[in-house]
Structure 1
């Protein structure tokens, strides 16, 4: 069982192994992809591809965002992060994705957003990082002992830079951050009691989009800014993985609380029934977001799916999952079953 830790509690060796795995993935040629496309680039492209997908049974002009803006947000990203984590482990065995504890801003700025780890934050217009090993080019004299041979740095693929350039850039807009710990605790325990409405609808909405006084997922992207604020290609900034690990941790905590509160319940009881209408638009969740639905691109050999959100050149970056078994929302309802758990923010 893999254990995901608070990023500021990583040992120096754990931190360096994570960074090394990132650099190696940026250099590793993606099998079957055009020359110069790395495994890391492939993950970035996949996040962009999920934004608009045609689905069997729907008109071609009606696309689905499998990863955002509805209740499947949590399940899709759980699968996506786990696939990335396994790719990291193929480079450096034992590496896991740490999480960014949003509420501990002092700890984050002192240890996470630091030249020794993911590099500094900045305010104002996006500009390239000037510290950390995540620069596009790191001079040989500044490369640590673990540095992979022939790796120049952490360059962004030019077809994935989304106007921010090929060197990792950050630049925060004026947003409310960080969320108070008390508010995060309230979110982890949030149960809106509305007849005929599953409480997960409200939990998901606040977790992904936030509310006044509680900035969460969306605000975190804009707080970091630069590449991280790109809706399609935000995984270019490795902060993405730590940010979404915290999203997933909060969901896992909420799930554990619901299972404990409802004796004899199972994980699927704490997800809306497939035929339940959203309390926000009075429509059912779209395909890929409901219990029993396969989540693109993990739909096995099923036909009729296609992404329409990518340039054809970028579409060539994508992997082929058709030989793999389909993965459904139900398959992602237990973090333990997926293969990992979270260490509490304060440690064991």
Structure 2
């Protein structure tokens, strides 16, 4: 086969690549100064570059926020539709394609391959490197309303243009808000004990293929991490989990831990699911989700379920809007098929005495349970 230039473009996919073309997604703590500068610089360039698609946003970065938001818009002909890229089997396949589209955009504006690094939730050194001034910058402080005031994405340098509805995004912030660790039930990063428990789940997913799938069985729903949801509903034109009190772990916990809430209880930038890519930490968080998926998939022959009978958009042969040439099954392949690999696929070691987060309770706001 002819090699395709990495990175892979999900809008125009070629499902073959040679090993020598692979780009490597590293733990953020292991990046060189040049790699960090290139990654941050490419993100800032996207924010200054017109979007190549006609999606009514001002720049290529905001295209990704808008695309993520549109993925969660209710379809008028089926209130509880599938194919949301959230809350169902396509959470992991759709986000894999979404990260590849972003990596492709970064590499186009940088004029060289740029790999998305990952944040290893279980390693404080990885978090410290991510929140340093030469990468994503630190969390906000109470005296500043938890607005990010330092680093490349600080107030005055990084403007939020695509905002969610007031229901999910009551703060309507113009700047990044990171109330890191300030949300009840998500005061820490996801735990190694939960990652290890996740990797022991026996099947990719299980009926009814949604927020109520048995997390003792379903790898996808355990990783999704919004616990105690009873279904989906349409509010303000966007799909939400129906919840009472909720807990969070893994994917949802990472969003809620970093984004947190401000002093008024408004969700921070990463906490609001619908517009969470406004905070570039989104990409490092989801790269780790994808890395853990790859660890599990390698041991389970790249199983994807359901084959048939699931919600529209969630079956193995269903296409992944807005990537019409890709299906869920296409994404259930080794990362090398898409021109990348992870520097480390080792499961974390559980610190002595650490137990999983099941049973932690958070005050639920609709948006926070929706990751």
TM-score with structure 1 setting the length: 0.73
Which residue of 2 is the match for residue 341 of structure 1? 341
- Measure, in 2, the Cα distance between the counterparts of 1:36 and 1:87: 15
Distance 1:286 1:182, change over 3 A: same
> What per-residue deviation string (whole Å, max 9, x for no partner) do you get for residues 54-73 of structure 1?
38xxx354544521001110
What are the within-5 Å matches in structure 2 for residues 237-256 of structure 1? 237-256=279-298
Which residue of 2 is the match for residue 21 of structure 1? 42
Distance 1:91 1:183, change over 3 A: same
- Measure, in 2, the Cα distance between the counterparts of 1:328 and 1:173: 36
Deviation of 1:178 (Å): 2.6
Q: Please identify the structure whose Cα radius of gyration is greater.
A: 1
What CA RMSD, in Å, does the superposition of the two structures yield over aligned residues? 3.1
> What per-residue deviation string (whole Å, max 9, x for no partner) do you get for residues 299-327 of structure 1?
3xxxxxxxxxxxxxxxxxxxxxxxxxx21
Which residue of 2 is the match for residue 228 of structure 1? 270
- Measure, in 2, the Cα distance between the counterparts of 1:123 and 1:35: 33
- Measure, in 1, the Cα distance between the counterparts of 2:336 and 2:160: 33
Deviation of 1:340 (Å): 1.0
1:85 aligns with 2:110: no
Distance 1:328 1:27, change over 3 A: same
Q: Which runs of 5+ in 2 are unaligned?
A: 1-21, 228-245, 260-267, 347-371
Deviation of 1:94 (Å): 2.0
1:127 aligns with 2:146: yes
2:307 to 274, 290, 293: 274
Which residue of 2 is the match for residue 43 of structure 1? 64
User: If each structure's helix is expressed as a fraction of its own residues, which one has the higher value?
Assistant: 1
> Which secondary structure does the structure 2 equivalent of 1:286 belong to?
coil
1:209 aligns with 2:186: no
- Checking the alignment, whether the CA contact within 8 Å between 2:178 and 2:269 is kept in structure 1 is yes
Deviation of 1:272 (Å): 1.8
Which residue of 2 is the match for residue 155 of structure 1? 159
Which residue of 2 is the match for residue 9 of structure 1? 30
> Which secondary structure does the structure 1 equivalent of 2:322 belong to?
coil
Distance 1:250 1:81, change over 3 A: same
Which residue of 2 is the match for residue 292 of structure 1? 317
TM-score with structure 2 setting the length: 0.69
What are the within-5 Å matches in structure 2 for residues 99-110 of structure 1? 99-104=118-123, 106-110=124-128
Which residue of 2 is the match for residue 173 of structure 1? 183
- Measure, in 2, the Cα distance between the counterparts of 1:32 and 1:209: 32
- Checking the alignment, whether the CA contact within 8 Å between 1:158 and 1:166 is kept in structure 2 is no
Q: Which runs of 5+ in 1 are unaligned?
A: 138-152, 260-266, 276-283, 300-325
Deviation of 1:74 (Å): 0.4
Distance 1:229 1:183, change over 3 A: closer
